[in-house]
Amino acid sequence: MNIHAIKAIYFFEMARTFRTLLQSIISPVISTALYFIVFGSAIGSRMVAIEGVSYGAFIVPGLIMLTVLMQSVTNASFGIYFPKFIGTIYEPLSAPVSYFEIVVGYVGAAATKSFVIGLIILATSFLFVPVQIAHPFWMLGFLLLTCLSFSLLGFIIGIWARNFEQLNLVPSLIITPLVFLGGSFYSISMLPPFWQTATLFNPIVYLVSGFRWSFFDTADVAVSYSLAAIFVFSVLCVSVISWIFKTGYRLKN
């Protein structure tokens, strides 16, 4: 195991985060704070409580998920796309590092960044709405697993993308709608019966539900399903990545 290489990649990527601290941390926090003000305080005060939880608090897990999913995908995809774009990818590819070490370095850094952003947003939410956390350990666990699995997805997108348009395509065209329709702002029991069933095909429903359970002890789907969903999703991503490195897809000639 080339620990020095993992550290080198990880800290090199984290250095990029610190160089661009403003865009990296401040902007997601500000945009989420706006959601809290509009949905939590302004609109939320006129909404009825959902399953005994005030609407302002109810949307906190969904909002954190929204940001964390987007951040994980964009951080990780950019992290690997940028070296491809400027050509510096030649170095990790010609270094004595295994694919596993490359992925740990890049995905680890991307996941760390979105994990920290998730925690900052959680802290911010305390300023706007009363939040309780029923299962803090599980809360952190769900957050971490989500950061990791979607950073894996981002890594795949970064390798697949041939240009910046493609890089933005998946987050804006797929992730955003899935998150919005995944029960971030509502309980799926509020939907008509047909959409309740349809929505179960949205993987993000399981993430948001599990994460919300760790806060309020109520869930749309069983917690075990949520865990299984993250697990299956991660395994899928890891399989795709190992295929990428085995074949050199869009990395090697």
Partner 1 sequence: MDPIISVTALDKTYRSGQRALKGVSLQIRSGEILALLGPNGAGKTTLISMICGLTSPSSGQITVGGYDIVTDYRAARSLIGLVPQEVALEPFEKVINTVKFSRGLFGHPPDAAYVEQILRQLSLWDKRNTPIKELSGGMKRRVLIAKALSHQPKILFLDEPTAGVDVELRKDMWDVVGKLKASGVTIVLTTHYIEEAEAIADRVGVIADGDILLVEDKDKLMAQMGIKELYIELQKPIKAIPPALASYDLWLAEDGGRLTYVYDTKAERTGITGLLTDLSAAGLALRDLRTSQSSLEDIFVDLVKD
Smallest separation (angstroms) from partner 1 to the CB of 95: 4
Nearer to partner 1, 1 or 198 (CB): 1
Q: For partner 1, which stretch binds (CB under 8 A), given 87-95, 115-123, 198-206, 235-243?
A: 87-95
Residue count at the site for partner 1 (CB under 8 A)? 26
**How many residues are recorded in the chain?**
253
Smallest separation (angstroms) from partner 1 to the CB of 41: 38
Rounded CA separation 118/71 (Å): 9
- Residue-by-residue DSSP string for 199-215: HTT-HHHHHHHHHHHHH
Touching partner 1, residues 15-34 (CB under 8 A): 15-16, 19
What is the pattern of x (binds partner 1, CB under 8 A) and - over residues 54-83? -----------------------------x
Q: Does 4 interact with partner 1 (rule: CB under 8 A)?
A: yes
Task: Return the residue of 14, 47, 93, 140 that touches partner 1, per CB under 8 A.
Answer: 93
Q: Does 248 interact with partner 1 (rule: CB under 8 A)?
A: yes
Cα dist from 251 to 99, 109, 161, 164, 232, whole Å: 12, 20, 11, 17, 26
Q: For partner 1, which stretch binds (CB under 8 A), given 8-16, 50-58, 148-156, 186-194?
A: 8-16
Smallest separation (angstroms) from partner 1 to the CB of 240: 19
Smallest separation (angstroms) from partner 1 to the CB of 115: 23
Residues forming the site for partner 1 (CB under 8 A)? 2, 4-5, 7-9, 12, 15-16, 19, 83, 86-88, 90-98, 248, 252-253
